Amino acid sequence: MKAIGAAAVLLLCLFQLRAARELVDALPWGRVAGKTGRIFPIAILGLFGSGAYMTSDVWTWSTGWIQVGIAALVVLAIQGPVIAERSGKKLEHALKENGPGPLGEYARRMPRYPGLWVIEFSAIGLVLAIVWNVTVKASTGTAIAAALIGYGVGAAFGLFFTRAPAAEADAVTTPSS
């Protein structure tokens, strides 16, 4: 449950950062996002721990959907610090570089950075696939397919939010007189 709650808070932060037009609007959401990211390693360990208990009590480690779940947790544990955390640091740097007042073009663009959105939504898709696999006790092939589909759909959904808002896109493509 911690992972879902943290993901919801992080998404709220991303949407608010994306909408911010001044540094004063962006800073609180950036701070919350930075603190929320610290919950994910704990949540991953909690998911693994509860799964390990159930595996040792009811299932075996050689069960296909369990191995897929472990692999998915490894993906989550790697992509969070390697991609999402680094992307967050780039956003933090852009906001600091901007300074007080209205956000410049680079600082407005960074909250749409794919490393933030794609990783967040792909992680949600992968976690939902793991939950589905555990619920239905999927075969190995079906578990792999579910994980790939969940990840892919999440990543595609995340890409949608990397696009510039319509008004901003029009301003960039319309030449001034």
Number of domains in the chain: 1
Q: Is residue 177 part of a domain?
A: no
Residue 100, domain member (yes or no)? yes
Q: What is the mean pLDDT of residues 55-61?
A: 83
- Residue 170 has a pLDDT of 46
Rounded distance between C-alpha atoms, residue 47 and residue 119, angstroms: 19
How deeply is 11 buried, as exposed, middle or buried, from its count of CB atoms within 10 A (0-12, 13-18, 19+)? Answer: middle
**12 part of a folded domain:** yes
Q: Is there a domain that residue 169 lies in?
A: no
Residue 78, pLDDT above cutoff 60: yes
Q: CB-hemisphere CA count at 13 Å for 43?
A: 18
**What's the mean pLDDT in 17-25?**
88
The stretch 55-63 carries a mean pLDDT of 83
Distance separating alpha carbons of residues 1 and 11, to the nearest angstrom: 15
Q: What is the pLDDT of residue 1?
A: 56
In a domain, 173, yes or no: no
**Residue 175: inside a domain:** no
115 domain residue, yes or no? yes
- The domain of 142 spans 2-164
d(CA 83, CA 80): 6
CA-CA-CA-CA torsion sign (57, 62, 66, 72): positive
Residues 91-118: tens digit of each pLDDT: 888 888 888 889 888 888 888 888 888 9
Residue 47: which H helix or E strand, with range? helix 39-57
Q: How far apart are CA 18 and CA 12, in angstroms?
A: 10
pLDDT at 156: 95
170 lies in some domain = no
Predicted pLDDT at 153: 96
Helix, strand, or coil here: 174? coil
pLDDT at 4: 72
pLDDT of residue 143: 95
Q: Which burial class, exposed, middle or buried, applies to 80 when counting CB atoms under 10 A from its CB (0-12, 13-18, 19+)?
A: middle
Q: Look up tokens 């610090």; give the residue.
A: 81
